[in-house]
Structure 1
Amino acid sequence: MCIPCCYTISTSEVGVIEKWGKFTRLSQPGLGVIMCPMEKLVGRLSFRVQQIDVRVETKTLDNVFLTAVVSVQYQVLRENVYEAFYALTNPVQQITAHVYDVMRSTLPTLELDAAFEAKEELASSVKNALSESFTSYGYQILQTLITDLDPAQSVKNAMNEINSSKRLKFSVAERAEGKKILRVKSAEAGAEALYLSGVGVSRQRKAIVDGLRDNIVDFSHGTTARTKDVMDLLLLTQYFDMIRDVGSAAKCRTTFVPMSRSSGDEIRCSLLQADAATKKQGMKETTSKKKKKKAKQ
């Protein structure tokens, strides 16, 4: 005795009906009726785009192990529902096996850097292999994406260190080039400064000579002084100006000793007097420092 049984099929799905274990028809979305137990709804297939993520662990040509994540987007063909339902036992498992096969035969031929650059080629190879194998089974491979290539953490650290070393080397070279430019420019500035200083000294000496010549002419005009006397006076004046400038300099350690051509004893006495004056000045400075120190305490 057969009893009518009701069922529903959702939108974007199709139902597979068997009668006494044999395929009879496909059931479209909506309400359907079968005669139980003669007929039976054995399964449903969705026409929606589905995706599976496959993680593949393999090594590259330079013996670096990495994990690749391949996302496969597929869809059941409406005209091949029978093949999609009855030809394959486990479509997800079989798609995964094909992805493993393609990735583990392609990645070992590429070095690590080349593998990152060849993601599009890898995805295209996987898609072509799956399309050839599964189109006849009622599945359309819409897209395959290499979403991740993940080597070991130690390999990542090594790659980062290599990149850091290259950048550090470039930075050192640029820093050295900058120092070179600074030194060259500093040397050029020093040379220019010395040149200008020489020009200034030359002009200064010329002005001094011109001034001395004018002074000699003015001084000797209307007097009985000889030119030599005037020159001696001017040179003596410059001598005293020089002593004043040197003596007024900070931390001056220069000692001028009067010199006489008549006797060597005068030179000796002059040296002793200069040494005594230097020691006396040093004692005064020491006493002054001690007094200031005590006053602060």
Structure 2
Amino acid sequence: MNYLIIPIIVFGLIILISSFFIVKQQTAAIIERFGRFQSIRQSGLQLKIPLVDRIAGRLSLKIQQLDVIVETKTKDDVFVRLKVSVQYKVIKIKVEDAFYKLDYPHDQITSYVFDVVRAEVPKMILDDVFLKKDDIAIAVKSELNDAMQDYGYDIIKTLVTDIDPDAQVKEAMNRINAADREKTAAQYEGDAARILIVEKAKAEAESKRLQGQGIADQRREIARGLEESVEVLNKVGINSQEASALIVVTQHYDTLQAIGQETNSNLILLPNSPQAGSQMLNDMVASFTASNQIGEAMKNAKKDEDKDE
């Protein structure tokens, strides 16, 4: 009799222990009774009827992510691969639908992603695919939400995380971008060179203006000095012609002295005889006299023409 008690006690303990089970945090357990849905158990220590109830399955209530890679063609006939990341979770109050209505949620989500992407991308050129990737993600989320809500799944977010065109297309795009950058660089270099030329011309013009102003000031001062010299000489009884001759001779010998002070000079002043100053003055006076005579003759001729008219 004792031999029967021990197995009965052990069996009873096993049955008692099997009546309790633990459900982890962010997990739901589905309980069936004789093969029929009985209840949903949340996290914590739970109790079920031994040999009658069983745990049919467990579903995670955490947010999950599924990455779907879709290859399709754009409007400008470029093949491109898009990586779409879908974040989803089981709706807590629809655990029964999520468990019984859909065996493979990953396959279902993948099918909808393929359908939406291959409907949207062929409407766009390649550049628009990069610019409007958020619009593609929104379209995928909207379609998935409408479909997956009935199966107990909530689509949290969809992201187009990668756009990978064909290798030859990427190479061509890189060449185009490089050419555009070189063109921009050339334009900047041209603008810089043009600015340098303009500024250099302005500097040269300003230099010439200042140089001319300096020469004019120098000649003005020379003329003023000559005028003062003639006035001083006139006061001591030397007439204008004699004063002019004296000034010319003085400047002539000053120039010779300045040349002589320079070492290694190859400059020769011609003429350099003692009579050179007087000869230059006579030539200047003769030139001025001839010029005045020609001017007077032209004035008289014009007056005669006016009278004849």
Same fold (TM over 0.5): yes
Find out whether 1:35 has 2:23 as its counterpart. Answer: no
1:234 to 234, 243, 247: 247
1:139 to 153, 157, 162: 153
C-alpha separation in 2, matches of 1:252 and 1:63: 82
In structure 2, do the counterparts of structure 1 residues 226 and 25 end up closer, same or farther at CA, with 3 Å as the change threshold?
closer
In structure 2, do the counterparts of structure 1 residues 198 and 78 end up closer, same or farther at CA, with 3 Å as the change threshold?
closer
Q: Which residue of 1 aligns with 2:111?
A: 97
Report if the CA contact (8 A) 2:48-2:54 is conserved: no
The 5 A counterparts of 1:1-297 are 4=15, 5-6=18-19, 7-29=21-43, 30-36=45-51, 39-151=53-165, 155-156=169-170, 158-223=172-237, 227-243=240-256, 254-256=267-269, 258=271
C-alpha separation in 1, matches of 2:171 and 2:249: 80
Deviates more, 1:138-147 or 1:239-248: 239-248
Deviates more, 1:250-259 or 1:74-83: 250-259
Shift of 1:220: 4.5
C-alpha separation in 1, matches of 2:203 and 2:257: 32
Deviates more, 1:141-150 or 1:167-176: 167-176
Give the gaps of 5 or more residues in structure 1: 261-297
C-alpha separation in 2, matches of 1:24 and 1:243: 131
Q: Name which one, 1 or 2, has greater alpha-carbon Rg.
A: 2
Q: Secondary structure of 1:127's partner? A: helix
Q: Secondary structure of 1:35's partner? A: coil
Amino acid at match of 2:249: L
Amino acid at match of 2:57: G
Amino acid at match of 1:235: V
C-alpha separation in 2, matches of 1:212 and 1:178: 50
Amino acid at match of 1:232: A
Shift of 1:92: 1.0
Paired residues, number? 257
Shift of 1:99: 0.9
Q: Secondary structure of 2:213's partner? A: helix
User: Normalising to structure 1: TM-score of the pair?
Assistant: 0.71
Give the gaps of 5 or more residues in structure 2: 1-11, 274-309
Amino acid at match of 1:228: Q
Shift of 1:20: 4.3
Shift of 1:128: 1.1
Identity among equivalent positions (%) equals: 36
C-alpha separation in 1, matches of 2:233 and 2:73: 104
C-alpha separation in 2, matches of 1:154 and 1:8: 56
Shift of 1:98: 1.2
C-alpha separation in 1, matches of 2:260 and 2:136: 88
Amino acid at match of 2:46: L
Describe the superposition over 1:190-223 as per-residue Cα deviations: whole angstroms up to 9, x where unpaired: 3233233223222322222222233233335445
Report if the CA contact (8 A) 2:84-2:162 is conserved: yes
